Amino acid sequence: MPEPLEFTGERFTPECVREIRYEHFHRYAFARQRVAGRNVLDAACGEGYGSALLAAAAQSVVGVDQSESAIAHARDRYHASNLQFMVANCLELPFENGEFDCIVSFETLEHLEQHEELLTEFRRVLRPDGFLLLSSPDKAVYSDQLKTANEFHPRELYRGELESLLAAHFPAFRLWGQKLLFQSAIWALEEMPGVSLQQENGGKVEEFSAPNHNPVYFIAVCAADEDSLPDFNCGLSLFDDAAESVYAHYYHEIRKNMAAGALLAEKERELAELKSAGSKRRPVAAWWNRLLGRP
């Protein structure tokens, strides 16, 4: 096994744990169900773990990234007869027109200023009846609400901006939202049957057809026309790991805080006892000092 890539914050590595791992792996797990039997381009594949996941279902996968070190690592770490990795700039892809059935590009859009050029190039190498699956953080939540300042995101988009961008290049598209709960959740942003979620708010329980939360990320599937959109038939997708690492970490922190609270309460009790004992001794000390003529 090659040494893992250093995590700099610019790209995910599989050695990351808990929340960030859930978010990144879930996107590829969500995509893998939709690329079976297709020729796939994983654009800005980074370390390569996602391309390898897709290759388990797809007919073929080509992972491209502009980082030579990331591609060298991917070639060394992931091997399959239907998987290859190439150094390439997503704004100038080295492929013929209409070469791919599907393009997957997660955590790419916000890392570039040239959004129009990127989608133009994706549309060029995508077959007329192919589809694009991409992700993008919602600036209203990711940056404005959560106060996340990511130095590697030169241009994030609000939902309306994302929809306008997609519509200009792919007249047909659908949006899902993604947010980390105790699991990573991806849900359709249009009402879909078969999903029922209950939420308590102020003592009242309400029922919803999707999580009643603002998504942190958008996931979009796009095509030239409605007939070319894949039938995801998925109103809600959940992802976690067998170890339930996010919940385990939360439970550990709760127990640690409870222990710290108990220790603090004990120290406050001891301090109060010392202060009480000190206040009883002070009058005697004052009388003795006066007797000895001390100030």
What does the pLDDT read at residue 286? 61
- What is the pLDDT at residue 151? 87
Range of the domain at 117: 19-241
- CA dihedral sign of residues 131, 232, 21, 147: positive
Give pTM, 2 decimals. 0.70
Residue 230 lies in a domain: yes
pLDDT at 288 over 60: no
The answer to the question of residue 84 being in a domain is yes
Give the residue from 206, 222, 241 where a domain finishes.
241
On whether both 201 and 253 belong to a single domain, the answer is no
Residues 264 and 294 in one domain: yes
188 burial (CB, 10 Å; 0-12 / 13-18 / 19+) is buried
Tell me the pLDDT tens digit for each residue of 93-147: 999 999 999 999 999 999 999 999 999 999 999 999 999 999 999 999 889 988 8
Q: Do 255 and 193 share a structural domain?
A: no
Q: What is the pLDDT at residue 84?
A: 98
pLDDT above 90 as % of the chain = 47
Domain membership of residue 192 (yes or no) is yes
Same domain, 199 and 231: yes
Is residue 37 assigned to a domain? yes
Note whether 236 and 247 are same-domain residues. Answer: no
Band of pLDDT at residue 295, cut at 50, 70 and 90: low
Domain tally for the chain? 2
Domain boundary among 221, 241, 261: 241
Q: The tokens of 220 are what?
A: 């979009």
What lies within 8 Å, CB to CB, of 74 at 6+ separation is 45, 46, 47, 48, 51, 63, 65, 85
Residues 229 and 286 in one domain: no
Q: Which is nearest to 45 in space by CA: 32, 28, 57?
A: 28
- 204: domain CATH number is 3.40.50.150
Tens-digit pLDDT profile for residues 221-243: 999 999 999 887 778 888 888 88
Q: What's the mean pLDDT in 260-278?
A: 79
How many whole angstroms separate alpha carbon 112 and alpha carbon 247? 34
Same domain, 226 and 249: no
